[in-house]
Structure 1
Amino acid sequence: MEIKDLKAVYFIGAGGIGMSAIARYFIRRGLVVAGYDKTPSELTRRLEKEGMMIHYEENLEEIPFACKQKNSCLVIYTPAIPADHKELLFFQQNGFEIQKRAQVLGTLTRHMKGLCVAGTHGKTTTSTMCAHIMHQSHLDCNAFLGGISKNYGTNYILSQSDYVVIEADEFDRSFHWLSPWMTVITSTDPDHLDIYGTKEAYLESFRHYSELILPGGALIIHRDLEMKENLQDDVRRYDYSRDEGDFHAENIRIENGGITFDFISPIESVKNIELGQPVPINIENGIAAMAMAQLAGCTAEELRYGMKTYGGVDRRFDFKIKSDKLVFLSDYAHHPKEIYQSAKSIRELYHDRHITAIFQPHLYTRTRDFYKDFADALSQVDEVILTEIYPARELPIEGVTSQLIYDNLKDGVKKQMINKADVLSLVKSRDFDVLIILGAGDLDNQVPQITKILEERIK
């Protein structure tokens, strides 16, 4: 079915961050847009205000009439939806065209120049940075992002540009549907082993993704990754890192709450890049974002202005309170390497302060596979408070609890285990110097209340 023939689009798993970006695209096109999600959230409430019809129980009667016409309705679902979901079964049994989110992105972007960002971690920040640089440049861009950009208050940008920035998700091999013109690969630390089974299969998935880069395009890959790319003829290859590579930083200055550096590039080096979100890990993310934007045609001044005015992403090093008395932030980090980078950046910023992390592990399988790595990464902070595991799409696994991480934290780290339901009470009863909420689960829903409690304390 061609996009131009659609009259309605139905989403099963409407409230996911990636799904919502596509929903916004179709809302803007004036189609009937509806869907199901398991629970209401701030994101689903926003979508409803924008014109999407959403319900929260498996109920065929809630599906709008326009979405029951198979010749004019496209059904989009997330792989996290169980195979026996009543609504998914209805559409399957009645011959509707059903696509995964990544298939739709592939369709939407086939006739544009895709600037994609893949990797185990760093892809949301890097793609959002690149989208901001491109959008405020003479080139402009469309964008489908995996987080809410603070510059735009959304995860979607629509324009008349030929460029589209996409966060390329490796979960369920989704990124294999894409045809990138250029792509960044930030990292390939094994994840989603419930899907891939082995590290080798995970790395092979990235190798196959590199084959999809279109001739005339480019790969911008972090130095020293385990994966071995396989590029088509006429695809340029560049590497990058914070300190080495075709693209890297020099003359880094971290002082007075700000970060400035020189961007070294084989095309044109740019001095005095100022980070609008001054977090050390964003030096490396910014190098990758600027590299792709520069290869697309952005000027030195556009790179400098874009980086200076970049406002960050919700739940990615998201500072809520930043004062001499107290620092409070939340971060989506949920893989050991992400937590390591997050903790390292916090320590670099606040090397002489007491850092406390409240971490909600995400998925039983991820905890089972990486509990020692989680413990090592978390041991960089002074104090760790663990909640129970957020299951997401999984059922419990016998013997897999947060206790595995707790027992492997290094000596000298103060530690505690609590129920998620008791987090607010703990915050009310404790003093903190630097506090960070870590994880991709639902603990972040309590961040507004925690912020309010802490703000009252420092008045």
Structure 2
Amino acid sequence: MSTTAQQPTVNDLGRVHLLGIGGVGVSAVARLLLAEGVSVSGTDAKDLPVLDQLRAAGATVYVGFDADHVRDADTLVVSSVIQAGNPELEEAKRRGLPVLHRSQALAALMRGRVGVTVAGTHGKTTTSSMIAVMLRHAGLEPTFAIGAPIPDLGTNAELGQGSAFVAEADESDGSFLNYTPSIAIVTNVEADHLDHYGTAQAVHQAFDRYADLLPATGLLVACSDDEGAAGTASTLEQHRADVRVVRYGFGDAAQLRLSAADHSGLTSTATLRDAEGSEHLLSLHVPGDHNLLNAAAAYAVGRELGLTPRAALDGLAAFGGAARRFEFGGTADGVRVYDDYAHHPTEVRAALRAARDVAGQGKVHVLFQPHLFTRTRDFAQEFGEALSLADSVQLLPIYPAREEPIPGVTSELVAASVSANHAVVAPAGAAAAVVAAAKEGDVIMTIGAGDVTAFGAPILEQLRTRAAAR
């Protein structure tokens, strides 16, 4: 796709047509453009509920791609899933229209505001959600664009009247390098998306470039407990004396240091010691050490934007979670069912550790769907080790998303790496199997970035049927 010579402004875009407008990231851009008064149209391959919402907001939306749909457009916006050969993309190229990646359109919306971008292999959605909820709770009316619906906010994107613009910055395709943030967050840096980057070293180098996007006096907030994020912070400090760095974590290197973490059910608390030596009680309504770390990053942003410690902490305490991030589905026959988007071994491990805290004396049962053939190939062993934290594991076939199958790469590679041989690949009876394993007091988790989330409702229904049969 082509890009403009310099970063465009919203006023440069004219009438905007968005391809894949039903996707969570592209629909967020569409919502913000509409709120700015821009003429918006778009196309998606499927008729999704979000399309009716966008129509109600003033967008012209089509289902099914056709070159005629771009006849009135001045600018085309696409995501990375749109491939060459798409008739609307090819028509836009033929007409010489500017073609912007979704992130470039978001960057145009961010101009003139205080950009707060959240990057990292894990934790982007939760951390950016925490920041947006915290700022709104404090009355700062932020603009935000986040990669999942946030129940506390009622949406994943909104044009606020305040100066702050909070955006989740996606590293998967390198598009997080299109932003010009005033505050940049790096939650962690690990090897992932190797289909795009090729090597782990290239991933780390991309995060170094992301941090270097900061202007003079800009702020990098980085997790000192994570080797990759800490490395990015050190690299930036070595050649940029004009920017500031705040580190957060449980270790001694952190200026915002967490300690005395405690987890009880869905609540988490810790002592947060700031750079001045003052100690505060951080209290959350989401589980896990990883969420305490995410909250520490959000707290740093709140303080940078002028919030008092009390206002920042109160805002974080108001956060109730993001969609598909340890999302509670319901309870039936004494079994609690949760859903999580985790699709990297580190994320799976964090989700299952949190599930252990929630389950207490109960057991944890997992229905896991690997996401992408390349990721399964690269991390099958690590997935198996992470899933070994569960008491039983059912596996679905790999969710391909944008990829073609790779010979020999199947869910059995993951199953073979789960300890005690207690992982089973059984797509036809997966829901029934996980229900059969669960007893009163246990936790069931559906985990993965594909359509495994759809199993939550039938699992709950089977649990209700079992209870009624007693």
TM-score, normalization by structure 2: 0.89
Mean Cα displacement is larger for which, 236-245 or 206-215?
Answer: 236-245
Query: Aligned pair in 2 of structure 1 residues 391, 256: CA closer, same or farther (>3 Å)?
Result: closer
Q: Using the alignment, how far apart are the partners of 2:302 and 2:338 within structure 1? A: 29
CA apart distance, 1:430: 5.8
Q: Using the alignment, how far apart are the partners of 1:82 and 1:365 within structure 2? A: 19
Q: Using the alignment, how far apart are the partners of 2:112 and 2:76 within structure 1? A: 22
* 1:309 aligned residue (307, 310, 318): 318
Q: Using the alignment, how far apart are the partners of 2:194 and 2:61 within structure 1? A: 32
Give the letter aligned to residue 185 of structure 1: V
Alignment of 1:60-459 (within 5 A): 60-61=67-68, 63=69, 67-70=70-73, 73-223=74-224, 224-226=226-228, 227-228=231-232, 229-231=235-237, 232-244=240-252, 245-255=254-264, 257-267=266-276, 269-321=278-330, 325-411=334-420, 414-419=422-427, 422-426=429-433, 431-432=438-439, 433-455=442-464, 457=466
**Equivalent residue, structure 1, for 2:4:** none
CA apart distance, 1:2: 4.5
Identify unmatched segments of 5+ residues in structure 2.
1-7
Mean Cα displacement is larger for which, 250-259 or 83-92?
Answer: 250-259
Q: Are the counterparts in 1 of residues 392 and 437 from structure 2 also a CA contact under 8 Å?
A: no
Query: Aligned pair in 2 of structure 1 residues 24, 454: CA closer, same or farther (>3 Å)?
Result: farther
Q: Using the alignment, how far apart are the partners of 1:324 and 1:78 within structure 2? A: 42
CA apart distance, 1:256: 6.0
Query: How many residues are aligned here?
Result: 451
Query: Aligned pair in 2 of structure 1 residues 26, 43: CA closer, same or farther (>3 Å)?
Result: same
Give the letter aligned to residue 246 of structure 1: Q
Query: Aligned pair in 2 of structure 1 residues 49, 200: CA closer, same or farther (>3 Å)?
Result: same
Give the letter aligned to residue 358 of structure 2: L
TM-score, normalization by structure 1: 0.91
CA apart distance, 1:296: 1.8
**Equivalent residue, structure 1, for 2:19:** 12
1:37 paired to 2:39: no
- Residue by residue, what CA displacement relative to the aligned partner does 1:317-349 show, whole Å, maximum 9, x if unpaired? 101125892111000000111111111221233
- Residue by residue, what CA displacement relative to the aligned partner does 1:172-216 show, whole Å, maximum 9, x if unpaired? 210111111111101111111000011111111011111101111
Query: Aligned pair in 2 of structure 1 residues 427, 57: CA closer, same or farther (>3 Å)?
Result: farther
Q: Are the counterparts in 2 of residues 379 and 409 from structure 1 also a CA contact under 8 Å?
A: yes
Q: Using the alignment, how far apart are the partners of 2:331 and 2:256 within structure 1? A: 31
Q: Are the counterparts in 2 of residues 19 and 101 from structure 1 also a CA contact under 8 Å?
A: yes
Give the letter aligned to residue 115 of structure 2: G
DSSP-derived class of the 2:338 partner: strand
CA apart distance, 1:146: 1.1
Q: Using the alignment, how far apart are the partners of 1:45 and 1:418 within structure 2? A: 36
Q: Are the counterparts in 1 of residues 381 and 414 from structure 2 also a CA contact under 8 Å?
A: yes
Q: Using the alignment, how far apart are the partners of 2:54 and 2:431 within structure 1? A: 28
**Equivalent residue, structure 1, for 2:33:** 26
Give the letter aligned to residue 44 of structure 2: D
Give the letter aligned to residue 402 of structure 2: R
Q: Using the alignment, how far apart are the partners of 2:92 and 2:454 within structure 1? A: 32
Q: Are the counterparts in 1 of residues 432 and 459 from structure 2 also a CA contact under 8 Å?
A: no
Give the letter aligned to residue 161 of structure 1: G
DSSP-derived class of the 2:293 partner: helix
Give the letter aligned to residue 90 of structure 1: E
Q: Using the alignment, how far apart are the partners of 1:236 and 1:455 within structure 2? A: 54
Report the RMSD for the aligned CA atoms in angstroms. 2.3
Q: Using the alignment, how far apart are the partners of 1:317 and 1:204 within structure 2? A: 31
Give the letter aligned to residue 230 of structure 1: L
DSSP-derived class of the 1:408 partner: coil
DSSP-derived class of the 1:171 partner: coil
Query: Aligned pair in 2 of structure 1 residues 399, 352: CA closer, same or farther (>3 Å)?
Result: same
CA apart distance, 1:251: 3.0
Identify unmatched segments of 5+ residues in structure 1.
none
Query: Aligned pair in 2 of structure 1 residues 79, 404: CA closer, same or farther (>3 Å)?
Result: same
Query: Aligned pair in 2 of structure 1 residues 10, 210: CA closer, same or farther (>3 Å)?
Result: same
Query: Aligned pair in 2 of structure 1 residues 205, 17: CA closer, same or farther (>3 Å)?
Result: same
DSSP-derived class of the 2:140 partner: coil
Q: Are the counterparts in 1 of residues 438 and 444 from structure 2 also a CA contact under 8 Å?
A: no
- Residue by residue, what CA displacement relative to the aligned partner does 1:8-55 show, whole Å, maximum 9, x if unpaired? 321111122111111111222344322222334444454344443433
Give the letter aligned to residue 100 of structure 2: Q
Query: Aligned pair in 2 of structure 1 residues 52, 69: CA closer, same or farther (>3 Å)?
Result: closer
Q: Are the counterparts in 1 of residues 192 and 203 from structure 2 also a CA contact under 8 Å?
A: yes
DSSP-derived class of the 1:283 partner: helix
Q: Are the counterparts in 2 of residues 268 and 300 from structure 1 also a CA contact under 8 Å?
A: no
Give the letter aligned to residue 13 of structure 1: G
Q: Using the alignment, how far apart are the partners of 2:107 and 2:24 within structure 1? A: 17
CA apart distance, 1:128: 0.5
